[in-house]
Amino acid sequence: MHVFPKPVLHSPVSINNAGIVEMTAPIHNLHQFISLLEEQGELSRIRVEAGPILEIAAITDRVCKQPDGGRALLFEKPTGKRFPVATNLFGSLRRVCLALGVDSLDRLTERMTALLALAPELDVSRLDRQIGALPEFSRFTPVTGHDADLVAMETPDSGRFPFLQSWPGDGAREGHPRYITLPQVFTVAPDGGSPNCGMYRCQVRGPRELAVCWSPGSGAGRHFEAYRSRGEPMPLAICLGGAPAALFSATMPLPGDLDEMTFAGFLRNAPLALAACRSVPLRVPVGCEVVMEGYADPLETVMEGPFGNHTGFYAPAAPAALVRVVAISHRADAVIPATLVGPPPMEDCWMARAWERLLLGFLRRLAPAVAEIRFPPEWVFHQSAIISLENPNPGMVREIAGVLWHTPWFGAARMLVFVDADTGPMDLSRAAWRGINLADAGLDLIRDESGTRVALDVTGSRLSRPPVAMDGAIAEQVARRWREYGI
């Protein structure tokens, strides 16, 4: 059985001289986080054998579907492998808070709001430079460190790790079903600038070959095109584990070239320490479980997929970058983190709540009438949201939708539903109730110029009828006497 360090429980948050809520006692690595989860009753150990091919995913899927997200799972004996697997690590609201060191995710909104207040004027087109120039942000620039816990494999072999096959058809095109599903992929531009860390699925094709699936407009995608134009292979590093804040930062659609590792420092209220890789000119966080180093071939792609995803269907096989691994380092007691992607609710739905809270800080600055935002689990992967407005008036939804469609966060939003801030709980059920009762397809259904994006105004701002509401005094009386009723 793996022995994990005694957890460092988080202290209460504090407020610094700039008025920003700060988090204390950050988590530094996966072992420390697993210890914290176990201490808090948030972890289940599976001590019997469980297979990395489909079985671990099936168990995780069943746990993820529990109303509160279930517990994190530590599979101590993956069949045929010596390294344990951890899944559903961030699959509940409480565990996301523990990972980021906050008592409530609303702290993230408070911190982002206070940070953006230090910028005199926001310009979405250069938001990355505006934030990066703020001393209250740049003080979290990573520092140089050294990782003494990593041991280099004499002969790199990804087959020694229990990477998962999640769905029966994964990788069926060319017979490579196993994927690294929770990686942090590090790249830089050819001149060494604009460091990027993103989460891109990695198909295991052999002991020293991976297919890495990034989109053309992503940070790694832009870097790869720059290397391709020079005819040079692109160095990259794939990290597993480390500080949870780094993983969250890698998943977030940060503006422009804002450095993910500095942002991770902002999230955890402490700079990350980065160490130089062994064989590629990159730096990665200290405290990782596994670091895989290699080069993406600029002249060769492979067919990756199919891959089961959140739509409930397989993403079709498509060309992906071929990465040749030249070095692998790992902790002697490494734990392999993995996630399962599929029909919601899933772990990534809970992780998205952290970005939702940060994004609210941006939105309130860009459009002060915005009161709240919710990403329904069924919609979150398409940038679609329910947004509430303070004191909405006719025309406000059209104006704000136009602003949001021109931001990087809602450029591909299939549906934005706007409600009145007084509507009550912002969930899909209530939005659907208001939508079917209040919306006029001719007036309240707003399309952008491309016809591919839709906003729905269900604020009720055009209606002259008063809304139904319980008498306030009676409601208070009922609350006081509730025990008397014997219900």
Tokens found for residue 113: 């709001």
pLDDT of 473 above 60: yes
- Among 219, 217, 183, which Cα is nearest to 203's? 183
Looking at the predicted structure, is the pLDDT value of residue 425 above 70?
Answer: no
pTM for this prediction: 0.91
CATH 3.40.1670.10 domain extents, the chain? 367-457
pLDDT at 435: 83
288-311 CB burial, b ≥16 within 10 A, e <16: bbbbbbbbbbbeeebbbbbbbbbe
In DSSP terms, 296 is beta-bridged to: 234, 323
Tens digit of pLDDT for each residue in 173-182?
999 999 999 9
d(CA 189, CA 3): 40
* pLDDT for the residue 423: 75
Report the pLDDT value the prediction gives residue 6, as an integer from 0 to 100. Answer: 56
Whether the Cβ atoms of residue 272 and residue 261 lie closer than 8 Å to each other: yes
Q: How far is CA 191 from CA 195, 225, 395, in A?
A: 10, 13, 47
pLDDT above 50: residue 230: yes
What does DSSP say about strands 196-198 and 318-331: parallel, antiparallel, or unpaired? unpaired
Q: In the Cβ-directed half-sphere of 462, how many Cα atoms lie within 13 Å? A: 12
Which residue has tokens 């890698």? 250
First to last CA, the chain: 49
Q: Is 321 helix (H, G, I), strand (E, B) or coil?
A: strand
pLDDT the model gives residue 15? 53
Q: What per-residue confidence (pLDDT) applies to 24?
A: 55
pLDDT in tens, 274-305: 999 999 999 999 999 999 999 999 999 999 99
Measured CA to CA, the distance from residue 432 to residue 445 in angstroms comes to 14
* CATH 2.30.110.10 describes domain 14-338: yes
Q: Looking at this protein, which amino acid is placed at residue 442?
A: G
pLDDT in tens, 4-56: 665 444 433 455 565 554 555 789 999 999 999 999 999 999 999 999 999 99
Note the residue count of the chain. Answer: 487
Under the banding of pLDDT at 50, 70 and 90, the label for residue 427 is confident
Q: Give the lowest-confidence range in 116-130, 165-179, 241-255, 321-335.
A: 116-130
Burial class (CB in 10 A: 0-12, 13-18, 19+), 268: buried
Three-class secondary structure of residue 344 per DSSP: coil
The predicted pLDDT at position 466 comes to 74
In the structure, what pLDDT confidence band is assigned to residue 349 with cuts at 50, 70 and 90? very high
Q: Does domain 367-457 have CATH number 1.10.10.10?
A: no
186 within 8 A of 219, measured Cβ to Cβ: no
Query: What would the pLDDT profile of 84-109 be if each residue is shown by its tens digit?
Result: 999 999 999 999 999 999 999 999 99
Looking at residue 83, its pLDDT comes to: 97
How high is the pLDDT of residue 21? 45
When the pLDDT of each residue in the chain is averaged and rounded to a whole number, the result is: 91
In the chain, list all ranges with CATH 2.30.110.10: 14-338
pLDDT at residue 344 greater than cutoff 50: yes
Phi, psi of 46 (to 5 degrees): -105, 105
Q: According to the model, what pLDDT value does residue 433 have?
A: 83
Q: What is the percentage of the chain residues whose pLDDT exceeds 90?
A: 76
Residue 239 sits at φ, ψ, to 5 deg, of -115, 145
What percent of the chain stands above pLDDT 70? 95
